[in-house]
Amino acid sequence: MPTHATASATPDSCHHADGSTRPPVIRTDILIIGAGPVGLFAAFQAGVLGLKCELIDVLDRAGGQCTELYPEKPIYDIPAVPGCLAQDLVDRLLEQCAPFAFPMHFNERANGLAEVAAMPAAEHTPGHEHAHRLLVTTDTGKRFNVAAVLICAGAGAFAPQRVALPEAAALEDRHLHYAVRDTARFAGKRVVVAGGGDSALDWALALRKTAARVTLVHRREGFRAADGTVAEMRAAVAAGEMDFVVGMLGALKTEGETLAGVDIRTRDDTVSLPADELIALYGLVSEPGPIAHWDLDMRAGRILVDTSTYESSRRGIFAAGDIAFYANKQKLILSGFHEAALALRRAYHYAFPEKALVHVHTSNNATLKEKLTHA
Ligand SMILES: Cc1cc2nc3c(=O)[nH]c(=O)nc-3n(C[C@H](O)[C@H](O)[C@H](O)COP(=O)(O)OP(=O)(O)OC[C@H]3O[C@@H](n4cnc5c(N)ncnc54)[C@H](O)[C@@H]3O)c2cc1C
């Protein structure tokens, strides 16, 4: 499946009075917000129903909670799958929807929602009236003009857990990093990596090869990382290739606008380390994000839906998976699959108001069967 794609763009609204251009509006049937397990299955269902769709996720990869929180935990309650690791489930969902090649846009957070007029008359396809369209904008400025939106945003947009020290905000993105995007910027620098999960250990190990010195800081001796990675890190420390300090960040020392060092509170003392760059990898937290302000009926931060259609209180906006709220809702992957399947059947009528959706089993639809069999 392609990533960061911009398929099906139409030329409307690209040119501005000042001569500048914006990326063209992407016109499709359905926008799926969230590429967690439910969003991925929804993409497959959209393809089966003959709908075009695009997916966005604020993260840089698909998988939602399965990939970010428990990739190596077994899951036993997916129908017909007696057991698989969470990441394997995500990989299979990606494989399942791959035949439709729907574009996935990563590092894109759904921000704005507006109702827009139906297509200009000049763009009407005869007999294909789009009475109701929605425009979703992302934080990077992408715009999607769609017949319906399916929100599969789970617990909300994942964001890095930030360093809770007064000096932190001013250093963010300059000398304090919550992700490593460009390893070259750490070459020859004194780098402190804070955290005890796989990301912290992986990056500490990787950067020790090019940084002047890497120090891993974690609040305890034990780690939430793969045994092999922990063993590799301990071997690197024993070989003098990097340092490990048990403690917590106590203060960040600055010189002008740059980082000069960090104070680590250990069990008995405070250790001062000189440092040029701090990488804090404490994991992710979920934030309700802008969807909470889309004027949808919400309950406890989740979207209230009608369980016959999984439509929200606003026309054409649906919710499935953990973000959906209704009586007796279960936060389980299989519930989300069902919700997405029903939501899309209703959403079909927004995309094709003039057509009746005739139910055909996938195996009885020759075109679909061909597509799925030869994938
Ligand atoms: C430790 C643990 C173990 C679990 N074990 C099981 C199990 O064994 N079986 C089971 O069925 N369930 C299990 N669950 C629950 C299961 O993971 C969830 O029900 C499932 O992940 C919900 O899927 P989802 O696609 O709705 O949301 P998520 O997996 O949360 O994915 C939502 C996606 O939406 C994105 N997003 C959110 N807001 C925006 C926005 N504004 N713009 C763009 N993207 C956005 C997020 O970045 C995320 O990728 C477990 C959960 C945990 C935490």
Domain boundaries, the chain: 26-158+285-373, 162-282
Tell me how far the alpha carbon of residue 322 lies from the centroid of ligand 1, in angstroms: 7
Q: Is the CB of 157 under 6 A from ligand 1?
A: yes
Angle (CA) 205 210 216, round 5°: 35
Q: Output Rg (C-alpha) for the chain, integer angstroms.
A: 24
Other C-beta atoms closer than 10 Å to the C-beta of 374 total 7
pLDDT of residue 181: 74
> In this structure, which amino acid lies at residue 1?
M
Tell me how far the alpha carbon of residue 100 lies from the centroid of ligand 1, in angstroms: 23
> Exposure string (b/e) for 136-149, b if CB count within 10 Å is 16 or more?
bbbeeebbbbbbbb
- C-alpha 144/C-alpha 200 separation (Å) is 36
pLDDT of residue 15: 55
Nearest CA to 259 out of 326, 361, 170 is that of: 170
Tell me how far the alpha carbon of residue 151 lies from the centroid of ligand 1, in angstroms: 12
pLDDT of residue 10: 42
Please state the residue numbers annotated as binding site for FAD: 57, 65, 70, 110, 158, 322, 363
Alpha carbon 243 to its chain's center: 33
As a CATH number, domain 162-282 is: 3.50.50.60
Could you state, in chain order, the average pLDDT of each consecutive group of 10 residues for the chain (375 residues)? 38 52 89 98 96 95 91 92 95 97 96 82 50 91 97 89 94 92 92 95 96 98 93 98 97 95 96 97 86 94 96 97 97 98 96 83 78 76
145: phi then psi, degrees, rounded to nearest 5? -100, 110
Nearest CA to ligand 1 atom 27: 154
Burial of 278 (0-12, 13-18, 19+ CB in 10 A): buried
pLDDT of residue 131: 64
Q: Show Cβ contacts of residue 368 under 8 Å, excluding neighbours closer than 6 positions.
A: 48, 362
Q: Is the CB of 56 under 6 A from ligand 1?
A: yes
Q: Show Cβ contacts of residue 17 under 8 Å, excluding neighbours closer than 6 positions.
A: none
Q: Is the CB of 195 under 6 A from ligand 1?
A: no
Q: Is the CB of 332 under 6 A from ligand 1?
A: yes
Nearest CA to ligand 1 atom 51: 65
Inter-residue contact 318 to 311 (CB < 8 Å): yes
Q: Show Cβ contacts of residue 328 under 8 Å, excluding neighbours closer than 6 positions.
A: none
Inter-residue contact 159 to 288 (CB < 8 Å): no
**Alpha-carbon distance values, 174 to 160, 224, 257, 258 (Å):** 16, 27, 9, 8
Q: What is the DSSP string of 331-358?
A: --HHHHHHHHHHHHHHHHHHH-TTS---
- C-alpha 245/C-alpha 247 separation (Å) is 6
Multiple choice CATH, 26-158+285-373, 2.40.420.20, 3.30.160.250, 2.40.37.10, 3.50.50.60: 3.50.50.60
Q: Which residues pair with 143 in a beta bridge?
A: 137
Find the largest Cα–Cα distance for the chain. 77
Let me know if the fold of 26-158+285-373 is the same as that of 162-282: yes
pLDDT of residue 203: 94
Q: What is the pLDDT of residues 198-211, one digit of tens each?
A: 889 999 999 999 99
